[in-house]
Structure 1
Amino acid sequence: VDGRPRINQWRAMSEVPAKTPESEAMSKALKKYGFNFVGPTICYAFMQAVGMVNDHMVDCFCHPNNRTTIATR
Structure 2
Amino acid sequence: MNILFPKNKPNFIKGLHRSVVTPIMVIVYPDKYGVYNRRSDEGLTKVGLMPKHGRGTAFSRKYIEINKVLKSLASENNMSL
Q: Which has the higher strand share?
A: 1
Greater relative contact order (CA < 8 Å, ≥ 6 in sequence): 1
Larger radius of gyration between Structure 1 and Structure 2: 1
Give yes or no for TM over 0.5: no
TM-score (norm 1): 0.30
TM-score by length of 2: 0.28
